[in-house]
Amino acid sequence: MSASPDVTATAKPLSAHRSNGRGRATTAGAKRARGTTADRAVRKWPYINRELSWLEYAGRVLFEAGDDRNPILERINFLTIFASMLDEFFQIRIAGLRQQVHAGRATTSPDGRSSAEQLAAARERVLELVAEHSAIWADIRRALAGADIGIVKYASIPDHHAALRQRFIDEIYPVLTPLAVDPGHPFPYISTLSLSIAVGLRDPETGESGFARVKVPQILPRLFEVEPHRFVLLDQIIEANLDLLFSGMEILEHHLFRVTRNADLAIEEDEADDLLMAIEEELRRRRFGEAVRLEVERSMPVATREILLHGLGLGDDDAYEIRGMLDLTGLRQIADLDRPDLKSKPWTPVTPARLAPPDEDDPADVFAAIRTNDLLVHHPYESFVASIERFIAQAVDDPEVLTIKMTLYRTSGDSPIVQNLIRAAERGKQVVVLVEIKARFDEEANIVWARKLEQAGAHVVYGLVGLKTHSKVCLVVRREGSGLRRYVHIGTGNYNPKTARLYTDLGLLSCRPELGADVTDLFNVLTGLSRQKTFRRLLVAPHSLRSRFLELVDREIAHAAVGHQARIVVKLNALVDQPSIDALYRASQGGVRVDVIARAACSLLPGVKGVSDNIAVRSTVGEFLEHSRIWGFANGGETEWYIGSADLMDRNLDRRVEAMVPVEDGDARARIGEIIETMLEDDRRSWALGPDASWQRVEVINGHPGTSDVHEVLRQRAIASTATATTPHRPRAGVGSLDPRA
């Protein structure tokens, strides 16, 4: 395995212009993330603030929007992803910090900041990101014009005004509801993430001024096409026809704004008689959550902004001026245009060689393939449909299958997985589904699926009180010979065929008896009154996962102390759990080499002399969203790999049901080692975290453009694996090892 880049190297600051394909050090953000020298002096270990680290991840996503090496419509897609990410950050993280401030809680974050200090630092970084976001959009608009795509201003297309006015009358006017604000009309409720127009009015008969709000309907498209691939904004059409809404009034001004509200659910599960009903009631209340952000056009006068802030119960620091278009999530219409010349070449996942059908009319026998030996599948390079969906579908159609049990955290709106479970229940098989109805922003969809499953005769449970069930496990019990055999799937990602084409995830299919027994016991914990806390092979949160991780780290420290091979690799979405970070610091001090691949937030600070000299941290952001969770331990030369659903966050380790599984098949372990090696060799999509808490692109540190794109390398490797079904790709010898000398 190649060494990670030296993140302690000093690199010169780069240009702030993001569209040149270079990543710059976020020096100001780094100082904010680390905290002050006085703060650090009173702490034993250094930590990066979680909220600020997450905002740096958002900045890495935004970089992709500004990178002109990406196709133009892919850049727009990154813009919309960034906008959605920032919305959720305010709905959940900023909302939580505001609640702590209002409650007068004196708690501090691991990096020594109060909630108020975190809010102030987050605002400072958000202002920078929002400005950059707007600048990148302006750059992309120019590039779109060169590709004969445009979002034009209403005023610039007078020849279309008559037709657009008629469309306004026919299609828009009937769904608009202007709401006045005066002593007889209190400040209206404004739904979260909706666009609104603030309208200043004057009655020409009395001379009295007035104020009204018009909601831009979310049920209508944001962009109206006036010519092929030429669009005008819905809000501009409404603004141009306000005279029809306010007949007899003089329109003094009109300005666009957008409100964000607290979207976190607050459920007292211990007091709820019916969890489903309690969540449905809380979902209704969530619509009226406290306002946390006001976005306004830069042209809005201070007086108008003050009316909105006062009506929403917000302060000046909760307002954000936006240059250009408000709410860039509306650009999905542009990103979805049928212009393949402006998009990345679409990827078609391959069928794993061992699951290749003998012929088109005779699908592969998944159970037979698993009986041969464990099967590791890697999405989206390998097909979710041809592996996991096929596994479930075969179980439904097989008369020898007696039972199917599954956890569902997030799935697609037209989920074939759920449809297959419904078919199985209707055929009389025992179907047990744990539907996590507390999965954030998927609560309503999961409630719908839960009811459909119940109506089909499936046993549906909603998990354990006080815990979210985030594990990705499936159990199939099949009659074979004179007994029963248990087949399991344990994965890192959701049972969602749509995200399986976009997220990188691993899944293990196995019929090892110990794993089958463990998954059976886990479902008994989830559905019954079993209080089992230890398992044969599985590591399960909130019981054994944290303690076992710490034991495995300590074991590497012990190996290093006597000169044995010692190395740790963790790949995850987030690393913010303080005890886990402290353990990795101890490992570094004990001479253990540690590689961290963290897609999003990382509170560990690498490269600090005497603390984390032996730790390297990197993040990969590109065409696919890195979602798999992997642990690797050299273990004195007997390398161990684990995959599963858990990030190293206190919520995953203490407040969720998570499952990590050891990978014991030799070929599967070698494949994981090869995946990790490829990620550490990537210099096109990866960023390195330095001891000053700044992120820089690896290609900038190396001083030349990147040549190894992990996503492209793994795509080509997947294609090569299907050359013949009888000779699947074999990882190079020794790749599965974590020899620190590699």
State the catalytic residues.
470
Query: What would the 3-class secondary structure string for 130-152 be?
Result: HHHHHHHHHHHHHHHHHCCCEEC
Instruction: Give the helix/strand (H/E) hosting 200.
Output: strand 195-202
Report d(CA 665, CA 512) in Å as an integer.
10
Q: How far apart are the C-alpha atoms of 599 and 627, rounded to whole Å?
A: 8
Q: How far apart are CA 92 and CA 89, in angstroms?
A: 5
Sign of CA dihedral 648, 654, 655, 661: positive
With 0-12 / 13-18 / 19 or more C-beta atoms within 10 angstroms meaning exposed / middle / buried, residue 224 is buried
Helices (H), 528-665: 545-561, 578-589, 650-654
Helix then strand count (H, E) for the chain reads 23, 27
DSSP 142-178: HHHHHTT-EE--GGG-GGGHHHHHHHIIIIIGGG---
The owner of tokens 């998944």 is 366
Q: Is there a contact between 606 and 612 (Cβ–Cβ < 8 Å)? A: yes
Q: Are 45 and 59 in contact (CB under 8 A)?
A: no
- Helices of type H across 313-457: 332-335, 366-372, 390-397, 416-426, 443-456
What is the C-alpha to C-alpha distance for residues 488 and 589, in angstroms, rounded to an integer?
Answer: 39
The burial class, CB within 10 Å (0-12 / 13-18 / 19+), for 125 is: buried
| Entry field: residues in the chain | 742
Give Rg (Cα) of the chain: 27
User: What is the distance between the terminal CA atoms of the chain, rounded to a whole angstrom?
Assistant: 5
Separation of alpha carbons 589 and 606, rounded Å? 12
Going by C-alpha positions, the residue among 326, 391, 88, 95 that lies closest to residue 194 is 326
- C-alpha 36/C-alpha 38 separation (Å) is 5
Written in H, E and C, the secondary structure of 682-714 is: CCCCEEEECCCCCEEEHHHHHCCCCCCCHHHHH
Contact assessment for residue 690 and residue 56, using Cβ atoms and an 8 Å cutoff: no
3-class secondary-structure state, position 10: coil
Q: Of the candidates 329, 309, 332, which has an alpha carbon nearest to the alpha carbon of residue 133?
A: 329
**Which SS3 state, helix, strand or coil, does residue 545 take?**
helix
Complete DSSP assignment for 233-274: EHHHHHHHTHHHHSTT-EEEEEEEEEEEE-------GGG-S-
Q: State how far the Cα of 740 lies from the Cα of 742, in Å rounded to an integer.
A: 5
**Closest to 22 (Cα-Cα) out of 683, 617, 682, 712:** 683
> Both tokens of residue 154?
């209403």
| Six-digit token string for 390 | 């096929």
Cis peptide before 542 (omega within 30 of 0): yes
CA atoms of 16 and 20, how far apart (whole Å): 9
The CA distance from 17 to 612, in Å, is 32
